[in-house]
């Protein structure tokens, strides 16, 4: 049966071919890490997945995804800042109040993220990004929840600049969860399908999101029919479907994964682990061989208990050995080198510390920072395609609910984690090292030559601490200095008055 070329299903089948190579690579990467992330085609709930012979792939993937989650969505501070646009004039006297209001909105957005349980969905999305390089994150504005679509359940089309042009999702839904009005509508479209719809276990639901001019248009479709009341429009910067990529390649609609870059080491680790495990099992077998022409009887050995005394000759009995210790040693050394390389590539803590008796904390810190900086390009991609859209969507949602005033065109969000946080971390290291070198000059020279207030401001900025109300301003210092001087003058006047009153009191006493 030929498909209607104007349906979402037909469009999905047409552009699905471009996704094929990326999905195949994702499945290969999943078999070496977490097979259930990207299961093989035709997998059902009763499928028994193959178990890898090594666990370094799963541990590395989970660790890196958790590392990204803590960096991109830190739990103890907002990962963005709201700044007033340059063309908006703010009264200097009101600047403090504006900053306080913007800070309150930032924490309000963080509260929405906690309420949506966004970190749960984002952790799953990050695992798919590391493994397959692609995932689709959906922020449901009605239910205030987040959902993750796997690479096997959606297709995306981009222009050569990487801008998204079209997204189509495909999922199986049970007729029992659909509204009765939709089932009646589908039955009316085809009278013969009325009984078929009620007996089917699942229906293929397609959701088509397409860019039209300066807006997005979406609708849902089942059995080639657009469902009523499902068509919606969104602004260009307010699309709740966020297609994510891990490594961007020009001209490709899909991204490449981090696991794919280290597939060779993972594949070699899997093969060596399998060989060592199977060889160890074979080596652990205990087989006694008795010489057929010897004086020792096989039955005596089989029936003898531990410590028993039997008649025989020790030369008649031998133990079967594989004599593969040297070969296993080579395989084990190679496996350890591969594991070390993978641990280093996936930023695992064990890879940072070298094998030595004395390893300084500075050495560990330097190597950890070096590894973290190596992923700066990934942070920059995720900050623009992951963090910024989430902030914009939540801000728009809060505005629709009248929880915050209209801000757009006046206030813009800026990401403060990821690559920017790495830059601030480097500034902190430089400032700390600079002060360490100055310690040799002594505290007097440091106090005389160093501008302490400026150093404290830079140090706080490198850590990401708001110094408002924490560090005294120049006006406060001048006011406190004036108060101290006034208090000193009053104390001096009191002392002078007491000194002057002393002789007068003595004269009065003598006069009496």
Taking 50 as the pLDDT cut, the residues of the chain under it are 1-3, 364, 368, 422
pLDDT at residue 1 in the model:
38
Q: Rounded CA gap, 441 and 382, in Å?
A: 44
Pull the structure tokens for residue 492: 């001096």
At 182, give phi and psi (nearest 5°): -70, -40
Q: Rounded CA gap, 248 and 378, in Å?
A: 9
SS (H, E, C) 219-272: EEEECCEECCCCCEEEECCCCCEEEEECECCCCCCCCECHHHHCHHHHHHHHHH
pLDDT at residue 373 in the model:
66
> Measured between alpha carbons, how far is residue 508 from residues 235, 251, 494, 497, 511 in Å?
93, 104, 21, 17, 5
**Mapping DSSP to helix (H, G, I), strand (E, B) and coil, where does residue 145 land?**
strand
Q: Rounded CA gap, 383 and 71, in Å?
A: 11
Question: Considering the entire predicted model, what is its pTM?
Answer: 0.75
Q: Rounded CA gap, 428 and 111, in Å?
A: 29
**Residue whose token pair is 């080639």:** 224
**Mapping DSSP to helix (H, G, I), strand (E, B) and coil, where does residue 168 land?**
strand
Pull the structure tokens for residue 427: 């500034």
Question: Which 8-state DSSP code applies to residue 45?
Answer: T
**Residue whose token pair is 């030929």:** 2
pLDDT at residue 169 in the model:
95
pLDDT at residue 333 in the model:
92
pLDDT at residue 2 in the model:
43
Are 272 and 335 in contact by the 8 Å Cβ rule? The answer is yes
Are 424 and 463 in contact by the 8 Å Cβ rule? The answer is yes
Are 215 and 234 in contact by the 8 Å Cβ rule? The answer is yes
Q: Rounded CA gap, 385 and 500, in Å?
A: 78
Q: Rounded CA gap, 204 and 190, in Å?
A: 16
**Mapping DSSP to helix (H, G, I), strand (E, B) and coil, where does residue 11 land?**
helix
Q: Rounded CA gap, 466 and 476, in Å?
A: 17
> If we measure between CA atoms, which residue out of 146, 83, 45, 33 comes closest to residue 414?
83
Question: Which 8-state DSSP code applies to residue 304?
Answer: P
Are 291 and 258 in contact by the 8 Å Cβ rule? The answer is no
pLDDT at residue 3 in the model:
47
- Residue pLDDT, tens place only, 29-77: 999 999 999 988 877 667 778 889 899 999 999 988 988 888 788 877 7
């Amino acid at each position: 049966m030929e498909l209607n070329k104007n349906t979402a299903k037909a469009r999905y089948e047409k552009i699905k071919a471009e996704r094929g190579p990326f999905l195949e690579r994702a499945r290969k990467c999943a078999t070496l890490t977490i097979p259930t992330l990207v299961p093989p085609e035709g997998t059902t709930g009763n499928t028994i997945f193959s178990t890898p012979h090594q666990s370094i792939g799963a541990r590395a993937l989970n660790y890196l995804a958790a590392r990204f989650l803590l960096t991109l969505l830190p739990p103890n501070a907002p990962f963005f800042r709201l700044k007033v646009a340059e063309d908006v004039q703010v009264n200097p006297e009101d600047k403090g109040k504006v900053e306080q209001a913007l800070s309150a909105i930032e924490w309000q957005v963080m509260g929405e993220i906690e309420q949506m349980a966004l970190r749960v969905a984002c952790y799953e999305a990050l695992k798919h990004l590391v493994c397959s390089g692609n995932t689709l994150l959906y922020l449901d504005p009605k239910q205030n929840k987040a959902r993750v679509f796997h690479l096997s359940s959606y297709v995306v089309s981009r222009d050569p600049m990487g801008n998204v042009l079209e997204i189509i999702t495909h999922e199986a839904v049970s007729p029992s969860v659909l509204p009765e009005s939709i089932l009646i509508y589908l039955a009316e479209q085809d009278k013969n399908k009325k009984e078929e719809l009620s007996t089917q276990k699942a229906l293929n639901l397609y959701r088509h999101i397409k860019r039209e001019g300066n807006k997005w248009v979406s609708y849902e479709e089942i059995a080639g029919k657009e469902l009523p009341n499902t068509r919606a429009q969104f602004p260009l910067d307010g699309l709740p479907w966020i297609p994510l990529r891990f490594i961007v390649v020009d001209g490709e609609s899909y991204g490449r994964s981090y696991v794919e870059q280290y597939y060779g080491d993972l594949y070699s680790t899997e093969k060596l682990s399998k060989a060592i495990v199977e060889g160890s099992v074979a080596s652990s077998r205990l087989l006694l061989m008795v010489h057929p022409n010897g004086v020792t009887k096989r039955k005596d050995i089989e029936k003898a208990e531990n410590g028993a005394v039997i008649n025989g000759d020790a030369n008649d009995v031998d133990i079967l050995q594989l004599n593969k210790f040297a070969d296993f040693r080579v395989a084990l050394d190679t496996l350890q080198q591969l594991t070390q390389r993978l641990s280093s590539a996936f930023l695992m803590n064990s890879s940072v510390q070298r094998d030595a008796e004395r390893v300084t904390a500075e050495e560990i810190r330097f190597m950890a920072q070096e590894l973290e900086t190596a992923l700066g390009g990934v942070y920059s991609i995720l900050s623009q395609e992951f963090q910024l859209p989430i902030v914009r969507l939540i801000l728009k949602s809060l505005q629709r609910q009248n929880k915050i005033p209209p801000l757009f065109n006046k206030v813009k969000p800026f990401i403060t984690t990821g690559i920017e946080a790495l830059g601030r971390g480097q500034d902190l290291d430089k400032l700390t090292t600079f002060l360490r070198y100055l310690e040799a000059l002594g505290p007097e020279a440091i106090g005389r030559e160093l501008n302490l207030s400026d150093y404290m401001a830079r140090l706080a900025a490198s850590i990401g601490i708001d110094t408002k109300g924490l560090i005294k301003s120049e006006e406060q210092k001048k006011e406190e200095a004036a108060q101290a001087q006034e208090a000193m003058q009053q104390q001096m006047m009191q002392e002078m008055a007491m000194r002057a009153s002393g002789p007068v009191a003595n004269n009065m006493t003598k006069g009496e």
